Amino acid sequence: MAGAEARGRPKAGYRSVAALLLLFNCVIRCTECAKPSNIVLILTDDQDVVLGGMTPLKKAKALIGDAGVYFSNAYTVTPLCCPSRSSILTGKYPHNHEVRNNSLAGNCSSPAWQKGPEALAFPVYLSKQLYQTFYGGKYLNQYGKKEAGDVGHVPPGWDQWHALVGNSQYYNYTLSVNGKEEKHGDSYEKDYLTDLIVNKSLRFLDERSPQHPFFMMLSPPAPHSPWTAAPQYENSFVNMKAPRDGSFNKPGKDKHWLLRQPLNPMSNSSIDFLDNAFRRRWQTLLSVDDLVEKVVKKLEDLKELDNTYIFYTSDHGYHTGQFSLPIDKRQLYEFDIRVPLMVRGPGIKPNQTLQAPVLNIDLGPTFLDIAGVNLSEVNMDGQSFLPQMAPSLRNGTSRPYFLVEYTGEGHSAPDPACPKLGPGLSQCFPNCVCEDAFNNTYACVRTLTGYNMQYCEFADSESFVEVYNLTSDPHQLENIVKKGGQDLDPLLRLLSTLSGSEGCIDRLLLNVNQNPL
């Protein structure tokens, strides 16, 4: 710890005393215990799994997934960057951390967030367990802005803090380096952000104290726009096109209001745009593949690889042409809410694919479980999935259902059409297809245990409902809400058992009870 303290965190004096006290406690408690395992989390930005987003990650798959587990049912509880990242950090659903969107007014890195949820995020607990902690890359979309405390705000729990100011960029960005501004230009050798995160993380590993475990969170900008590839990858995948199967270029005719707006079939310029985006997204991921290789090699050189859990995931999915929406996230469908998740580490047998549903809010509890924190003393909605990955270490059951929540961006709008960046519709992508609106606000219940279904309800003027049977209809082409019948009974029974304390779904349940399917 002393090593990490010396590297210049603010309030070092206070922290050293606290650390000494904790160290004293720990020496008393764990003279007989082995050192807890190290943990690395690699979190990409906007990387889908449904549309083949993991294909470019050949080395990462060999080094993490093949050496451990792939979770084939990993989900985000909300398909937008800032709310999802806030869920990862706090282990909570959005209705409990109250980060609604990517704006300061929606609590993204806001003063209320900093005072409340951020002070109880998982790194705080890891730090109390004497983990040496490192953050590198994109944090929350409003992080580092003047109104969000500027670069001087270093969230609690982090010993080494190298966080991007604002949203994902590859060049010409500013970092907060332990509270001090560090500006970067556009020289590949000096500034390419994905590579810079690797270099800084390797330095942290060299300089850490071997007495205590470490936690590293590496959060590259890829494959988020502006999709700037490293020079050596600018010509990769030149003939690649977005997949044309499933719901690609299909009309969303039985769906909620926003999905009934896009032009169908899509215009050629939309298709060209999304194919180009698709290619460039994959190109940026090749640098993430290099990142994984270098970090794993370093851990091997330091003889820490066998005592390190490595998690690889994304904040949410993405779409390129599904239901005629050119590019974005923010929808309740599988392409936007499913994420890649692979993990290797102690007690995890290689070559496994696990079907247990796992959520982004489970990452925090899983880290704390690995670190030896008593989870009943932590207030998180998620649960540890260590029992699923490493049954020799823990017993536990997976969850029967989970929620997906989203608050649409944009204010009340006078114009229902799609005004270019007009009020009400915050996104106006190629050919002005709307990708979001304030009434794209919904809550869903998703089950994978027993039956594979999704129920969603909108806070819009229609109280619109969508229901999918993912067994018969994996691409969600048919909204079966009007079909009714006893087939839906198990889902209705489940909905009626959900407790009213689950805030955001109160209204949803009320409506279900008043208007049975």
Contact residues toward ligand NAG (CB under 6 A) are 66-67, 98, 100-101, 103, 105-107, 112, 116, 171-172, 186, 189-192, 195-196, 199, 257, 268, 350-351, 374, 376-377, 393-395, 409-411, 413, 416, 424, 426, 437, 439, 451, 460-462, 469, 471-472, 487-488
Minimum CB separation of residue 331 from ligand NAG in Å reads: 15
Q: Which is nearer to ligand NAG, 1 or 323 (CB)?
A: 323
Minimum CB separation of residue 130 from ligand NAG in Å reads: 18
Q: Which is nearer to ligand NAG, 120 or 285 (CB)?
A: 120
Closest residue to ligand NAG: CB criterion: 416
Which of 26, 81, 434, 456 is flagged as catalytic?
81
Minimum CB separation of residue 166 from ligand NAG in Å reads: 14
Burial class of residue 109 (count of CB atoms within 10 Å of its CB; 0-12, 13-18, 19+): buried
Q: Which is nearer to ligand NAG, 1 or 320 (CB)?
A: 320
Q: How do strand 69-71 and strand 132-138 relate by DSSP bridges? A: unpaired
Please write down the long-range contacts of 366-371, taking CB distance under 8 Å and 24 or more positions apart.
Answer: 366/311, 367/39, 367/41, 367/122, 367/126, 367/215, 368/122, 368/125, 368/126, 369/394, 370/36, 370/37, 370/39, 370/309, 370/345, 371/36, 371/39, 371/125, 371/126, 371/129, 371/131, 371/213, 371/215
What letters, b where the CB count within 10 A reaches 16 and e where it falls short, cover 470-498? beeeebbeebbbeeeeeebeebeebbeeb
Q: Which is nearer to ligand NAG, 322 or 440 (CB)?
A: 440
Minimum CB separation of residue 459 from ligand NAG in Å reads: 9
Amino acid sitting at position 367: F
Q: In this structure, are residues 56 and 280 in contact, taking their beta carbons and an 8 Å threshold?
A: no
Minimum CB separation of residue 270 from ligand NAG in Å reads: 10
DSSP conformation letters of 143-162: TT-GGGTTTT---TT-SEEE
Q: Which is nearer to ligand NAG, 13 or 501 (CB)?
A: 501
Q: For residue 81, indicate whether it is catalytic.
A: yes
Q: In this structure, are residues 305 and 296 in contact, taking their beta carbons and an 8 Å threshold?
A: yes
- List, in sequence order, every residue forming a beta bridge with 467; answer none if it has no partner: 455
Minimum CB separation of residue 2 from ligand NAG in Å reads: 27
3-state DSSP call for residue 217? Answer: strand
Q: Which is nearer to ligand NAG, 150 or 451 (CB)?
A: 451
Q: Which is nearer to ligand NAG, 107 or 313 (CB)?
A: 107
Residues whose CB falls within 8 Å of the CB of residue 341, separated by 6 or more in sequence, listed in order: 70, 71, 74, 311, 312, 313, 358
3-state DSSP call for residue 368? Answer: helix
Minimum CB separation of residue 374 from ligand NAG in Å reads: 4
DSSP 8-state symbol, 64? I
CA atoms of 398 and 45, how far apart (whole Å) = 26
CA atoms of 220 and 164, how far apart (whole Å) = 10
Question: Where in the sequence numbering do the catalytic residues fall?
Answer: 81
